Structure 1
Amino acid sequence: MKKTFLLLLTVCATGLTYVSCSGNDENSSNQADVSSVGASVAIDATNEMDIKTGLIVAVKSSATTKSAETTPGICATITVTQENAASYPKVFTVDYGTTGCTDNLLTRKGKLKITLSGPVITTGSKMTIERIDYSINGIKLAGTIEYTNTTTVATVPQWSRKVTAGKFTDLTGRVYLNSGTWTVKQTAGVDTPYVLDDNVYEMTEGNHTITDANGGTLTLTVQESLIRKYSCEFISKGKLKVQGGILNGVVDYGNNDCDSKFTYTNESGITYNLVM
């Protein structure tokens, strides 16, 4: 049995057989569970967008950059603080302004503070991204992302992506707290370290937790490695196990196509086709 509804960061769960949008107390927690699945996918997407911004800044700041890539520009004003041109740490302030600016249909406001302890391709180096009065397309985001190079085999670059004190406020004002850690491996583009467009990343393990305003909690754990191409804004393949509330099941991102579609299959066997 399949049902379809549109997920635009806010969810009205009329498509579920046992959940409605009537607003009564019995159904409010169920509806929050559904919203948390959608919020989780959106949170992961915005985290990746900000990491991509950090990588662009890091690559552009490299004194050895010989990039032939065609990455989009960053419309923000970028300033850097460091002792000299070759020293670390480097602290970048990416300022989109209070009225915001738009790149690739994404309007961002506020600031990202990006701190590099060393080159992102060097084992042990850390890129820290802090959000300051920051939003994407009206969605307010807070918290810190730490992207640490944990490579042990040079041909397989690897990072740990840790989110702390995450806070996601959707377009209706609903708040979702979030935290978690992923292991990220680069599986393509290794031979061109200062070209980003050909990079492909695989999230092999990890989990994150989403907590809604009512205290309802969902934990999403990698079941099958998640595949993300740098050139795509969305996860294109892989599965997440969802546990918590009434929505125990699996999120499936599909067959490696670059699109915003995914499915959620509940433990009862019912599958929902979703679009972010």
Structure 2
Amino acid sequence: MKKIFLLSLTICATALIYVSCSSNDEIANQTDTSAVGASVAIDAANEMDIKTALSVTTPAQAAKATETGPATCAVITVETPNGTAYPKVFTVDYGTGCTINQLTRKGKLKITLTGAVITTGSKMTIERIDYSIAGLKLEGTIEYTNTTTVATVPQWTRKVTNGKFTDLQGRVYLNTGIFTTKQTAGVDTPYVLDDNVYEIPEGTHTITTDKGGTLTLTVKETLVKKYSCEFISKGKLQVVGGYLNGVVDYGNNDCDSKYTYTHENGTAYTLSM
């Protein structure tokens, strides 16, 4: 695996975010800033679990021989409960700890396919069972549904329901959201994942903190996510909630953990996952 797969470890080590601003600035409110960091961490974890599901369910004989996935140290089982090709159920069991490149996962992912992910109308459902990444507990279900209408531009909706994120301090963030994802590169090699590039042109993600605060993040400028990178590398989110009213900017398409938050008054904050 590439070094960039240390994302969750970095999130863990930095307690979600660093904020480079004056400590007496009223915008640097602990509830709000931690919610921004939690939201980015949750979204990153969702993308990582989708990546795991894609790597597990992609036919091995057609995938690149050099391609490895985050499930390589897990125990993987496959069932066809109806005795037919689909539905097909994959269980990725990380047990009490499965570590790759210093990133430890525990618990299970249950991945159910109603059909091939590249087929219009098919749904991939990811359920988390006693599951954590680098000590960050994740609950809820991700539904990844193929909504393609133009064959040359594959498209999916990514819906999160009953999301629950518990950080290392025991703080809980409930979350829901739905995004539209389009594949803009790698379409000609459907069973080779490493050359895939995805764009997220629209969607909204809502975080509710354990203190009752709500933060809503909406796609403002199309997000860019490369399969080969664990980070969203480009695009902007509008952030609204509490003291916050501004924009998260993921940068200029570099694969790194940095992003910025700029408040409506022009004050900029340097953040890192």
Contact kept, 8 Å, 1:9 with 1:42, in 2: the verdict is no
Contact kept, 8 Å, 2:236 with 2:248, in 1: the verdict is yes
Give 3-state SS (helix, strand or coil) of 2:244's partner: coil
2:213 is equivalent to residue 216 of structure 1: yes
Q: Residue 7 of structure 2 corresponds to which residue in structure 1? A: none
Q: Residue 92 of structure 2 corresponds to which residue in structure 1? A: 94
* Aligned residue among 58, 75, 78 for 1:77: 75
Alpha-carbon displacement from aligned partner over 1:80-122 (angstroms, at most 9, x marks no partner): 1105886100011110002x11123321000000000000000
Contact kept, 8 Å, 2:16 with 2:41, in 1: the verdict is no
Task: State how 1:1-276 maps to structure 2 within 5 Å.
Answer: 8-11=14-17, 15-19=21-25, 30-60=29-59, 65-73=61-69, 74=71, 75-83=73-81, 87-98=85-96, 100-276=97-273
Give 3-state SS (helix, strand or coil) of 1:198's partner: coil
Using the size of structure 2 for normalisation, the TM-score is 0.90
Contact kept, 8 Å, 1:240 with 1:251, in 2: the verdict is yes
Q: CA deviation at 1:68?
A: 2.0
Q: Which amino acid aligns with 1:53?
A: T
How many residues were matched structurally?
A: 260
Q: CA deviation at 1:156?
A: 0.1
Alpha-carbon displacement from aligned partner over 1:225-266 (angstroms, at most 9, x marks no partner): 000000000000000000110011000000000000000001
Distance 1:188 1:13, change over 3 A: closer
Q: Percent identity?
A: 71
CA RMSD of the aligned region, Å? Answer: 2.0
Counterpart-to-counterpart distance in 2, 1:16 and 1:130: 41
Counterpart-to-counterpart distance in 1, 2:169 and 2:22: 21
Q: Which amino acid aligns with 1:90?
A: K
Distance 1:12 1:122, change over 3 A: closer
Q: CA deviation at 1:67?
A: 1.9
Q: CA deviation at 1:14?
A: 8.0
Alpha-carbon displacement from aligned partner over 1:17-53 (angstroms, at most 9, x marks no partner): 5458xxxxxx9x9311110000111000000000000
Which of the two has higher C-alpha Rg?
1
Counterpart-to-counterpart distance in 2, 1:11 and 1:148: 31
Contact kept, 8 Å, 2:136 with 2:166, in 1: the verdict is yes
Q: Which amino acid aligns with 2:21?
A: G
Q: Which amino acid aligns with 1:138?
A: G
Task: Provide runs of 4+ in structure 1 moved above 6 Å.
Answer: none
Using the size of structure 1 for normalisation, the TM-score is 0.89
